[in-house]
Amino acid sequence: MTLASSDGMQLASHESVSYQQIEERVFLVLKLFDGINIGLLTLESHFINVHGLTELDIVEIIGLTEDEFGVELNEDPLVYTPQELIDLVDSTING
């Protein structure tokens, strides 16, 4: 299995992705998502309370993040902040 990103970078599944790379790529996904207020986007900004997103929006963000990293993420329980999403990706990729 390979991990693919929007910039065309591909990594073998046995290669780790640094936490900083994960953070940068997750923030890229979030900045491109309609409904995210970039001016309010922080590691702890709540997707529903701060950005006004719905749980369906969060599921869509998870799907876009899965596409970005070429992995399947556990959607249960849902993540509600960028930090939670970054941690989920990190634990999925790097164990």
Q: List the alpha helices (DSSP H) in the chain.
A: 19-32, 55-69, 82-94
pLDDT for residue 15: 67
pTM equals 0.85
> Contact, 80 vs 48, CB < 8 A?
yes
What is the chain's alpha carbon radius of gyration, rounded to the nearest angstrom?
A: 13
**What are the CA-CA distances from residue 92 to residues 41, 53, 68 (Å)?**
23, 24, 13
Domains of the chain: 2-94 (1.10.1200.10)
User: CA–CA separation, 65 vs 44, rounded Å?
Assistant: 17
Sign of CA dihedral 81, 27, 63, 14: negative
Question: Taking the chain (95 residues) in consecutive chunks of 10 residues, what is each chunk's mean pLDDT?
Answer: 47 72 98 97 98 98 97 94 98 94
pLDDT for residue 1: 36
Structure tokens at 4: 């693919």
